[in-house]
Structure 1
Amino acid sequence: MNVVIIGGDAAGMSAAMQIVRAQPDWKITVLEKGAIYSYAQCGLPYYIGGVVQDSNDLIARKREVFEEKHGIDARIYHEVTEVDPEEQVVKGTVTDKNEPFEVPYDKLLVAAGASPVMPPFDGNELEGIHVLKTIPDARKIVEDMKEDVLNVTIVGGGYIGLEVAENLVERGRKVRLIDLADRLGSAYDPEISEKIQAEAERNGIEVILGESVKAFEGENRVERVVTDQGEYLADMVVVAIGVKPNSGFMKNTGVHLHDSGAILVNPYMETSVKNIYAAGDCATQYNRIKEKDDYVPLGTHANKQGRIAGSNIAGQTKTFKGMVGTSVVKFFNITIGKTGIGEEEAKELGINYKAIGYDTAPYSHYYPGSDAIFIRMLKHKETDQLLGVQAVGNTGIDKRIDVAATALYHRMTTEDMENLDIGYAPPYNSPWDPLQQGARRI
């Protein structure tokens, strides 16, 4: 059997290793657009901030290991431009040699990931303008951060924008954050966003909201960011307004796509075309709360989906059970977490919901350091099913989000939450866990 995998990162190589273990005699060819395999994209902001000293530390497994130890044909600079599902051939260009290539397949896995969104702003070609998705992107930012680069503007107030902002401040830069939305972290409910903005301003970040970037200006290097309401001086710019799935080369294959452009897959990671699978940031994920296909490109999903795709390709049936939309972000001295859906999503879905927000403590109030945390909780008004939890604070946020994510996965009610047997000792919790406090009140 000849298996071709497009993409050499989390989903692609998770799949490859499953196939190698189950079918060691099969031929596996991986076509990677860049030159680096299996790296930690989520660690890139921390390399920029100097928390991670060497970018090579972000590489989980080098290409040579896949080739020499596991017999995988792991190619680099192979950019796929076309898939022919009738002939079962993948076509593209070897970019460092500017040569065409064709590779036949019996089974194909598309794990091409996603690319950062860069709108066609005037001045995009100026030096000092960056995006962040790959190790080379991060290296360029670090190399560009000369002594005279003092003022950095970040366009976008989502996860990556916040993490990059924090790490640039840690590197001694003056940071401005511009977002078209009317609040930072617009994926969260407003009460959470308020606390994110307060933390940003507490750490010297200038927050500009409700403005649309129109252009970048300068001689050879960026000097100004122009919005629909003003101009801002900048020595460097990082654009972090989201990602789009790398699925363009699949447009003439008959493969069905999601509204986001991601490749629609079933629980087996199969697409609508025979012998073609997809996984990771270029594919959809079934949302167990919304009960429909969604697009939430995160490393946790990519690793799971890649493993499941590889198992099914190799003849070992497994299914992706879906996700609930869990994330956690460190931002200076606070942690921000979310799982399930928020109020806006509940409204869009037409769900009859009830929501509460409350201040509480992560552990016993009398134990030193028990600073207040804030939690938002949503439930279905008629069925009592938990729908979502968001939280922000200095400590204990990740624990509550993970417990809530587990409850959401199993479609628990808030009454079920009250009855959970959660660990208690004064340094770690209260007799009633903060989540249970909300479950009792909602």
Structure 2
Amino acid sequence: MRYDVVVIGASAGGLTAAISARRFYPGRSVLVIKREETGMIPCGIPYVFGTLERVEDDVLPVERFLEPLGVETLTDEVTEINPNAKILRTASGLEISWEKLVLATGSKPVKPSFPGVELDGVYTVPKDYHYLKEFRERVNEADKVVIVGGGFIALEVGDEIRKLGKDVTIVVRSRLLRSSFDPEFSEMVEEKLREKGIEVVYGRVERILGDEKVGGVKLVDGRELPADLAVFSIGYQPNVELAVKAGLKVTRYGIWTDEYMRTSHPDIFAVGDCVEHRDFFTGRPHPLMLASTATFEARIAGANLFKLQIVRENRRTIGAYSTHVAGLTLAAAGLTEEAARKEGFEVIVGYGKGPDRHPAKFEDTSTVTVKLIFSRDRGAILGAQIAGGKSVGEMINILALAIQKRLTASELYTLQIATHPLLTASPVGYQILQAAEDALAKLRA
């Protein structure tokens, strides 16, 4: 079997890479190899525990995207890649040759190493259909669930399980959403979680309690939290085994790639969670793994497979994302104030706050808070954080583009916007403009 392009992996990154390859090079044959017959929509996984009625409601319809484009799919596991011969082998014994290869092998949850992790009732949150079906059934049977972790997946899963009427406790070592938000936003989400009846406990886990089944979680300070299930959401690690075996350059953060998503072999590309991401401003490894980042990288890889397109290159990761927890939408892009100062930037911060409808009497009105971080030297935007209603999910995209284009506070302040009473904040009090104005006043003071 021979194909012009073979993509290993069929989640967000692999799917997008295949679609982009087909659209930019319509005469080329494309094959996607997926290890599981049934894949999941990554960002929808937390919602299979509450909002969605079944795990099946979050299934990723890979063939529906690929078949109309003429992209073939194969359910099998790739066991070996020979970069020199441009051949890969699968668990079923197939040998497939390729001209260009895209690795989109994703990530897996970090497994806890505490005593008691082998007990029945200890779970992580993988992108595994059959695992999640069992996990959901166990959630339905449980009364008390302890979730260890303070990232957005831990919070989303906890919020969803609480909707089922379960007793939910979240254990976090420092503060919630620390990698993406400054303390005032962490406090907002913690307050909302507590209002929903979710307990937030600060501490470090020592062990999982129980004989054969989970009975609780013991913290280092001696506190014991009763639990029927212990859920660990303490991070993800890139799946790099194939890349290592193939002799590609791999760091502790993932597969190394250049700005065109090429690995150390010029005809092998890599995208998504398996790749080492680098921060937009500092060039340091960026730990946040996002489907939006994976698809961004995949579009670059797909466009550059056979011909480098200078305008389609990876200028590093902004890390834009949003989440919705306990009725509060949070979104962030770029550096936090805390991270910017730690990196040595001298910063100015601007705030904007107000309703996202005008007048604020409409039923779906919510208060939106915007925080923008600018460099003091030229007023260039470094980061943004927003909290409020669902409109926040699209507002952050404006600011992600502003960061990517390195806009200044002055340019954001003069941004021309579309507003409507039922859809947006007032043009007089649009929160992004307010925050830019606040920062400008401080810059000129």
Flag whether TM exceeds 0.5 (same fold). yes
**CA contact under 8 A between 2:352 and 2:438: conserved in structure 1?**
no
CA distance in 2, matches of 1:65, 1:341: 34
1:226 matches 2:218: yes
Q: For each residue in 1:111-147, what CA deviation from the matched residue of structure 2 results, as whole angstroms up to 9, or x when unmatched?
A: 1001111122222222221111223332122121344
Corresponding residue number in structure 1 for 2:230: 237
Corresponding residue number in structure 1 for 2:371: 376
Q: 1:284 offset after TM fit, Å?
A: 3.4
Corresponding residue number in structure 1 for 2:298: 306
Give 1:89's match in structure 2, choosing from 87, 90, 112: 87
Give 1:441's match in structure 2, choosing from 435, 438, 442: 438
1:119 matches 2:132: no
CA separation of 1:258 and 1:363: change in aligned 2, threshold 3 A: farther
Corresponding residue number in structure 2 for 1:97: none
**CA contact under 8 A between 2:206 and 2:219: conserved in structure 1?**
yes
Q: 1:336 offset after TM fit, Å?
A: 0.8
- 372-381 or 424-433, which deviates more: 424-433
**CA contact under 8 A between 2:352 and 2:431: conserved in structure 1?**
no
SS at 2:255 equivalent? coil
- 284-293 or 40-49, which deviates more: 284-293
The alignment's TM-score, normalised by the length of structure 2, stands at: 0.87
Corresponding residue number in structure 2 for 1:13: 15
Q: For each residue in 1:322-353, what CA deviation from the matched residue of structure 2 results, as whole angstroms up to 9, or x when unmatched?
A: 44221111112211111111022212322111
Q: For each residue in 1:197-249, what CA deviation from the matched residue of structure 2 results, as whole angstroms up to 9, or x when unmatched?
A: 1111111111111x222322322221111221222111112211111111133
Corresponding residue number in structure 2 for 1:400: 395
1:360 matches 2:315: no
SS at 1:305 equivalent? helix
Q: 1:68 offset after TM fit, Å?
A: 9.6
**CA contact under 8 A between 2:18 and 2:71: conserved in structure 1?**
no
- 389-398 or 14-23, which deviates more: 14-23
Aligned amino acid, residue 8 of structure 2: I
Q: For each residue in 1:42-99, what CA deviation from the matched residue of structure 2 results, as whole angstroms up to 9, or x when unmatched?
A: 11111211x22233332342458857983624123x153x4332333335645xxxxx
1:412 matches 2:407: yes
CA distance in 1, matches of 2:27, 2:395: 45
Q: 1:183 offset after TM fit, Å?
A: 1.3
CA separation of 1:441 and 1:122: change in aligned 2, threshold 3 A: same
Corresponding residue number in structure 2 for 1:325: 319
Corresponding residue number in structure 2 for 1:429: 425
1:277 matches 2:269: yes
Corresponding residue number in structure 1 for 2:103: 110
Listed as ranges, the matches of 1:34-433 within 5 Å are 34-37=36-39, 39-49=40-50, 51-63=51-63, 66=66, 70=70, 72-76=72-76, 78-80=77-79, 82-91=80-89, 93-94=91-92, 102-134=95-127, 135-147=129-141, 149-180=142-173, 182-187=174-179, 188-209=181-202, 211-229=203-221, 230-260=223-253, 262-290=254-282, 294-315=286-307, 317=309, 318-357=312-351, 359-364=353-358, 367-368=361-362, 370-394=365-389, 396-427=391-422, 428-430=424-426, 431-433=428-430
SS at 1:354 equivalent? strand
**CA contact under 8 A between 2:19 and 2:69: conserved in structure 1?**
no
Q: 1:292 offset after TM fit, Å?
A: 5.7
Corresponding residue number in structure 2 for 1:3: 5
Aligned amino acid, residue 320 of structure 1: N
Aligned amino acid, residue 274 of structure 2: C
Q: 1:316 offset after TM fit, Å?
A: 7.0
Aligned amino acid, residue 429 of structure 1: A
Corresponding residue number in structure 2 for 1:33: 35
CA separation of 1:399 and 1:91: change in aligned 2, threshold 3 A: closer
CA separation of 1:33 and 1:439: change in aligned 2, threshold 3 A: same
SS at 2:332 equivalent? strand
Aligned amino acid, residue 55 of structure 1: V
CA distance in 1, matches of 2:419, 2:233: 40
**CA contact under 8 A between 1:340 and 1:408: conserved in structure 2?**
yes
CA distance in 2, matches of 1:23, 1:403: 31
CA distance in 1, matches of 2:65, 2:388: 41
Q: 1:257 offset after TM fit, Å?
A: 3.1
CA distance in 1, matches of 2:234, 2:194: 20
Aligned amino acid, residue 32 of structure 1: K
CA distance in 2, matches of 1:239, 1:166: 15
Q: 1:190 offset after TM fit, Å?
A: 0.4
Aligned amino acid, residue 235 of structure 1: D
CA distance in 2, matches of 1:116, 1:167: 19
Count of residue pairs the alignment pairs up: 429
- 420-429 or 118-127, which deviates more: 420-429
- 280-289 or 411-420, which deviates more: 280-289
Q: 1:426 offset after TM fit, Å?
A: 4.3
CA separation of 1:64 and 1:424: change in aligned 2, threshold 3 A: closer
CA distance in 1, matches of 2:419, 2:73: 51
Structure 1 residue runs of 4 or more that deviate by more than 6 Å after TM superposition: none
CA distance in 2, matches of 1:160, 1:405: 21
SS at 2:137 equivalent? helix
SS at 2:214 equivalent? coil
